[in-house]
A and B are shown apart, each in its own frame.
Chain A
Amino acid sequence: MPRDKRPRTKSAVQKPAVAAPPSPERENPLQAFIPQPSTLETTTSTTGKSWLNQPFFGKPKDETILYVKNVEAMLAHPTSHDNDNNEEEDTPDTKKLLEEIRGQEMQLASDYEGSRYIERTLKNANQRQMRIFIDAIVERVVDVATHR
């Protein structure tokens, strides 16, 4: 097998990009465009997560981790091999998490931590969960040929 040539370098893996704190001596000319914590709290989604409607880059890291843990919990629903008719029921919590994740999957996937959590949880997913996840992302795997 050929070796993996993707530029996921050691330094990149160990050092995820973190914005440097602004220098006290120099005012950041883009400061006015950076979402402030107070701004982030002004919009509340129907799911109760205020950051869901915010640009991805403005999402606080703690909430990112909380969110991917919800994703993990949703997808970690155990596979039911004992069930003869292969039907698997969603628990109410799973259903709620499924509703919350809709439309956000690829934003999470494009994040360093988020992609790792999704990959890990997918490995434990059963067929039903995999189909739900693919359904959510498949429309986003679009038009690569025309895009390039």
Chain B
Amino acid sequence: MAYTETPLNRFASHVLQTVLTLIPKFLEEPEPQISNEDGVLHSIPEFVLMIADKLSPSPNLMRDPYGSHILASLFHLLIGQTYEVRSSSSEKFGKEKNKVNIEEITKGISVQVPQSFSALLSNIVVNLISPDDATARRIQREDITKLPTHATGVISLTALLETTKNIDLINLFLEKGEEWILSCSEDKVGSHFMCSLIKVI
């Protein structure tokens, strides 16, 4: 596997998701200085910012079946919450083989996060819906409004909506008009997104 494909890899993405899901439980612990042969290790918050920066959320990554879950975990992590959604077969395997259920460790965890996390989450929304270049902005906004009916894209989009409750993001969909809203509401996938949209309005 090429290292660049970590968040897109069928197995490695689950490892990365586990890391992102477990991080909140360390955020309120004191952080002793730790060194290895390369020098002093970054703190947990610094690692989070590095991972977020390298992931660089985009509509393409949001649509990816594995990347979408990685981003959903990242968005929840940035507000100090855990996000752990697995397929039924994956959960069954976990209960049989892993013995320790991750939900038992992370369930209900909600911790204070550094201000840099909130700023990063805001920047992610801005970069997604309002790139500097006008053409890129038009294309990207159009791209994002297709995510509510996308089977995997809706997962990361819903997470972004629920964690930021960003008014510009909400307006992006409301401005699509009555016909789009009705069409989305009647869609098998889109109806779930509309439920989330209504909750954050």
Binding site for B on A (CB under 8 A): 1-10, 13, 56, 85-87, 98, 106-107, 109-112, 114-116, 118-120, 122-125, 127-128, 130-135, 137-145, 147-148
Nearest 5 A/B pairs, CB to CB: A115-B11, A140-B3, A110-B1, A145-B56, A4-B87
Tell me which residues across on chain B come within 8 A of A87, comparing CB atoms. 32
Contact A119 B29 (CB under 8 A): no
Instruction: Name the residue of chain B whose CB is nearest to the CB of A13.
Output: B89
Query: In the assembly, what is the distance between CA of A109 and CA of B192, in Å?
Result: 32
Contact B42 A135 (CB under 8 A): yes
When A and B form their complex, what is the total count of cross-chain residue pairs whose Cβ atoms lie within 8 Å? 166
Instruction: Name the residue of chain B whose CB is nearest to the CB of A88.
Output: B32
Query: In the assembly, what is the distance between CA of A66 and CA of B31, in Å?
Result: 32
Instruction: Name the residue of chain A whose CB is nearest to the CB of B61.
Output: A144
Query: In the assembly, what is the distance between CA of A119 and CA of B19, in Å?
Result: 8
A131 is contacted by which of B34, B65, B97 (Cβ under 8 Å)?
Answer: B34
Query: In the assembly, what is the distance between CA of A141 and CA of B57, in Å?
Result: 12
User: B36 at interface (Cβ–Cβ under 8 A)?
Assistant: yes
Chain B interface secondary structure, helix, strand, loop or mixed? helix
- Count chain B CB atoms within 10 A of each CB in A86, A120, A123 and give the residue with the most: A123
Contact B19 A135 (CB under 8 A): no
Instruction: Name the residue of chain B whose CB is nearest to the CB of A128.
Output: B34
A106 is contacted by which of B12, B89, B192 (Cβ under 8 Å)?
Answer: B12
Given contacts A119-B14, A120-B99, A137-B16, contact A6 B22 (CB under 8 A): no
Tell me which residues across on chain B come within 8 A of A86, comparing CB atoms. 29-30, 32
Sample (29) of A-B pairs whose CB atoms are under 8 Å apart: A2-B154, A3-B85, A5-B65, A6-B10, A6-B65, A6-B69, A8-B10, A8-B89, A9-B89, A13-B93, A85-B32, A106-B6, A114-B11, A120-B97, A120-B100, A122-B19, A123-B100, A123-B105, A131-B41, A131-B44, A131-B47, A135-B36, A138-B50, A141-B16, A143-B54, A144-B56, A145-B58, A145-B60, A145-B61
Query: In the assembly, what is the distance between CA of A125 and CA of B43, in Å?
Result: 16
Further pairs besides A109-B16, A134-B44: 8, Cβ < 8 Å: A6-B66, A56-B1, A86-B29, A86-B30, A86-B32, A119-B98, A123-B100, A134-B51
Binding site for A on B (CB under 8 A): 1-16, 18-19, 22-23, 26, 29-32, 34, 36, 38, 41-44, 47, 50-51, 54-56, 58, 60-61, 65-69, 85-90, 93, 97-100, 102, 105, 151-152, 154-155, 158, 192
Contact B100 A124 (CB under 8 A): yes
B15 is contacted by which of A13, A56, A109 (Cβ under 8 Å)?
Answer: A109
Tell me which residues across on chain B come within 8 A of A10, comparing CB atoms. 89
Tell me which residues across on chain A come within 8 A of B5, comparing CB atoms. 147
Q: Give, as a whole number of angstroms, the nearest-CB distance from A136 to chain B.
A: 9
Instruction: Name the residue of chain B whose CB is nearest to the CB of A107.
Output: B1
Contact A109 B12 (CB under 8 A): yes
Query: In the assembly, what is the distance between CA of A6 and CA of B51, in Å?
Result: 21
Tell me which residues across on chain A come within 8 A of B44, comparing CB atoms. 127, 130-131, 134
Query: In the assembly, what is the distance between CA of A139 and CA of B6, in Å?
Result: 10
Given contacts A116-B98, A122-B19, A137-B16, contact A144 B41 (CB under 8 A): no
